[in-house]
Amino acid sequence: MASTSLTCFASSLVLILSVFLTVHFQVTDAQGTQPIVKGLSWNFYDSICPNVESIIRRRLRDVFRQDIGQAAGLLRLHFHDCFVQGCDGSVLLDGSASGPSEKDAPPNLTLRQQAFRIIEDLRRRVHRECGRVVSCADVTAIAARDSVFLSGGPDYLLPLGRRDGLNFATRNETLANLPPPSFNASLILSSLATKNFTPTDVVALSGGHTIGIGHCPSFTDRLYPNQDPSMDKTFANNLKITCPTTNTTNTTFLDIRSPNKFDNKYYVDLMNRQGLFTSDQDLYTDRRTRGIVTSFAINESLFFKEFVNSMIKMGQLNVLTGTQGEIRANCSVRNSANYDLFLPSSVGEEKQGTWSEI
């Protein structure tokens, strides 16, 4: 009887807390609450390319209908662009005589190659209709937002007007700005505090792991030679089947409950000791972030609200605006190296690309 009463009390407490959080933290503004930097605007393309967002969303609906897994790849691409040198599309650039590109740095080797092709396909479609007025950095930001929404997450407005960078970061700069999955909460918080992210921002942005996959080498240090005690045993045993050795190249879902749906189940995973990376699970272990994880697990609306705010904040890191940078005619090449730039924008882009072609 006592056990039953205790269970009922706990359930009631969770329900009350959930209602409280829902009432106090409803999403009230599709634009979020973040201020926007000078040079960006909520209606930047209204007069020069009013259909840019509908062009991108319409195309991505088709892409995800064939492979919803591409949504995570596009979201991750935006993260890796913004964290290194700011949201300037530099992660899209190929290497040159000056050295290897950001793509070639270890943290970016597992970025989906298809994501780069999708961004370039979107750029072609937008430029075909509007001319060369929309940056690859903005295309990447819009694609990330639509990846969230089209996989079940919140829809929100984006400040636009980013320009494309002229250079890519060095290998060392890339390594220094992309925290590895082996980082614990202290290291993650310290690293992202340098970009003005709060613990709430860190936990909210980590929620991007509600979709996507992880590669075995990114977490087998938690399995071998000894199992990480913070990992659920059954979860660990299943991972060992997928990753029988430390150098296995297999992959597994980041969120075992709803791997292709953008929701708050990632935080439920963490509460059940089923986070894949150290950088995930330690957010629940660390007292500074444990309460935030719990609140997001209980209340999806709260998670969505904070995720939107943090994404808008991240999407403005060190952006180029005005006359800074350029608007690339090919997302992987600077204009100075792009000989096609001297051709009319319609030349060579008449043919409508298809999913099989990209």
Exactly one of 24, 78, 80, 215 is catalytic; which is it? 80
Sign (positive or negative) of CA dihedral 277, 280, 284, 287: positive
| 80 has catalytic annotation | yes
- Binding-site residue positions: 81, 84, 86, 88, 90, 102, 179, 209-210, 255, 263
3-state secondary structure labels for all residues of 157-174: CCCECCEECCCCCCHHHH
Cα(242)–Cα(264) distance, integer angstroms? 24
- Binding-site residue positions for substrate: 179
Cα(191)–Cα(183) distance, integer angstroms? 10
Cα(262)–Cα(76) distance, integer angstroms? 13
- Binding-site residue positions for heme b: 209
Cα(135)–Cα(118) distance, integer angstroms? 15
- Binding-site residue positions for Ca(2+): 81, 84, 86, 88, 90, 102, 210, 255, 263
Q: What is the full DSSP assignment across 215-276?
A: EGGGTGGGTSSS--TTS-HHHHHHHHHH-SSTT---EEES-SSSTTS-SSHHHHHHHTT--S
Catalytic residue IDs: 80
